[in-house]
Structure 1
Amino acid sequence: MIAPQLTDALNGWLAQCAALNDAADHTLTAYRADVQGFLAFMQNHNGGAVGLGPIARITTGDMRAWMAHERGRGVGARSLARSLSAVKTFYRWLSEREGFEPTAVLTIRSPKFTKKLPRPLEETAARAMIDRVECQALEPWVAARDTAVVTVLYGLGLRISEALSLTAAQSPLPDVLRITGKGGKMRIVPVLPAARDAVAAYVRLCPHDLADGGPLFRGVRGGALNPRAIQKVMELSRLQLGLPATATPHAMRHSFATHLLTAGGDLRCIQELLGHASLSTTQAYTSVDAARLMEVYDAAHPRA
C-alpha cells in the first residue's frame, strides 16, 4: 500500500493523461501499475516513510536500487525501460505541481535492449496465406469470413483488433475507411478492390443477420468474432505452408508496410496508413528492408 497522498497524486496524473493526452484505458492501467510499483518500492526503501517529502528527495542511488530490484525479480530490459518512462513522466508532472527538483530521476538512463524488428512475410507467402486460410473451414461462409479478415489485414494494414471492430454498417466497404487505432487516434485507409470483394463474398454467404451497428465479422454462433479464431486458422495454414511461427495476424500488417516500402512507398505516408504516432516506429521497416537486402547480397555475391 502506498500513502493516500501519493495515491491522490497518481490519480491526478492519470486523470490528466486521460483528458489531455487521450491515453487509452489499457495504457492508463499499465501506467498505474508501473508507478504504483515504483512508489511502493521507494516507500519501503525509505524505511516506510510516507508522503511527498521522501519522494521529492529521491537520489540517483535510490533510482539505481529500484532498477536493480526490478531486474532482480525478473523484469526484462524492455519492460523496465517502459516502467522508467512512465515513472519519469509522472515525476516530471509531480515536480512541476509540488515545486521540487526532479533531476535525479529524469537523468537516469534507460536500460539498453535490442529492439525486435517486425517479421513480415514474403509477398508470395502473404498471398499463399490468404489462399490457404480458405481451406481450413468446412462451412463455405466461415471460409469466406477467414479469407476476408486476412485479406483486410494485409490489404489495409490493420491490426486484428481494428479489423474485428469493423461494423456491418461499413459493408459494402467504401473507397476509404476511417479507422480508430491505439489511443483513439483516427486515420483514413484506402480500401483495395481485393479487400472489398473478399468482404462482399463473405457477406453474401454469412447466415447471420448483419444488422447495422453490429460487428461485421461473426463467430459461428453469430456473436462478434474472437481474434483467437483467426490466429488458429493462420497457425494451421502456416504449418501447411511451412512458414515460421512469426506468420501471425500481426505479420500481415507488417507485410503490408514492408511491401509498400519495397515498392517505393513514402515512409511518411506509410506512417499515416499504419497509424503510428511516431515516425521512429515506422522506421523499423527500413531496417527490415535493409536486412533483407543484405541477405540477398550475401546469398548472391560471388566469392573467391
Structure 2
Amino acid sequence: MDTHRTTPAILLGALLVSGCMMATTASAQDTSHTSTGGKLLLTGGVSQIEGAAGGGLTPWAVIGGYGTNDQIGGNAFYTRVQLPDYHLDDAGAMIGLYNRVEFSVAQQRFNTEKVGGLLGLGNGFTFKQTVVGVKVRLFGDAVLEQDSWVPQVSIGAQHKKNDQGAVVKFVGAKSDQGTDYYISATKLFLSQSLLANATVRFTKANQIGILGFGGDKHNGYQAEFEGSVAYLLSRKVAIGAEYRQKPNNLSIAKEDDWYDAFVAWAPTKHVSLTLAYADLGNIVIKDKQRGVYASFQVGF
C-alpha cells in the first residue's frame, strides 16, 4: 500500500472524527447557553491554506471558531487544490480562546505528479510541510463594533518546516524552514453585508515554503500584501475574491502572485464548505496553474 496516499487519508479521518466530537460537544453546551458558538455565521472565516482563520489564501484578523470573549471555539479542516500539473492536500485544526488568541496546525502535501519525473525526482514526488501558527487580537471587534470605523487588528506568526531539505537547497533555497510574520486588519460592514481584510506578511518563503525559504536572488524578509473582500448573499452564503503577493527569491523558479474567487456556504455553525477558482500562475517549470480549490470544515 502507498503510504504517501494513506497518510493524508488517515489524517483527514482523524480530523473529521475530532471535528464531529467538537461539534457534538458544542451542541450539548449550546443547550445551557454557556461556553461556545456566540458569533454570527461565517464571521469567523474559514480555514486558510496555512491553517489560520481567514479566507482560503490569506489570514484575517478574526479569531477562528465561533467563540466570543468568554467562549472557546475551534475547527478542523481538509482542503484540496487541483491544478493542471500539480495537486495539494492540506489538513489541520485550530482553536480560538476567548476571541483573543488562536493556535493552529496544518500539514500540506504538494504532489508534483508528472512534473516530478521531468525534474528527475520521480512521478508523484511529494513535498510535505508542517505549519504551526499563532494569532493574537490586538484591538477592535469586526462584528460588534459596528459604530466604529476602527477595524479588528491582529498579529500572527506561522512557523513552517519542509521535509525535503536537500531538494529545496539544491534548487537554491537557503533553508528548509522559516517563520512568516503578519499583521491583519478586518472590518465587517453588517448593514452593507460586506467584509474587507488587508494583511501584510513578512516572509522569506518560496511558494509558501513548498520550495524552502530564501534564495540566491533574495534571502531577507520582504513585506508582501494580501487582501480579501467578501459579500454576504445571505446568513449562510458568502462570495468574494482574494489576492496574495509572493516574493521572488529563486532564479530557477519564477514566482507569481496568487488570486482566487470563492463561494463559502455554512449550513450550520458546525459545517462549512468553500469552493474557489484559484490562479496560482507559474510553479517551477509549469505556467498557468489555474484550478479548483475545495475545502471542508467542521467545528464550533
Larger-gyration structure (1/2): 1
- TM-score bracket relative to the smaller structure: under 0.3
Between Structure 1 and Structure 2, which shows a larger proportion of strand residues?
A: 2
- With structure 1 as the length reference, what TM-score do the two structures score? 0.24
TM-score when normalising by structure 2: 0.24
Q: Which has the larger helix fraction? A: 1
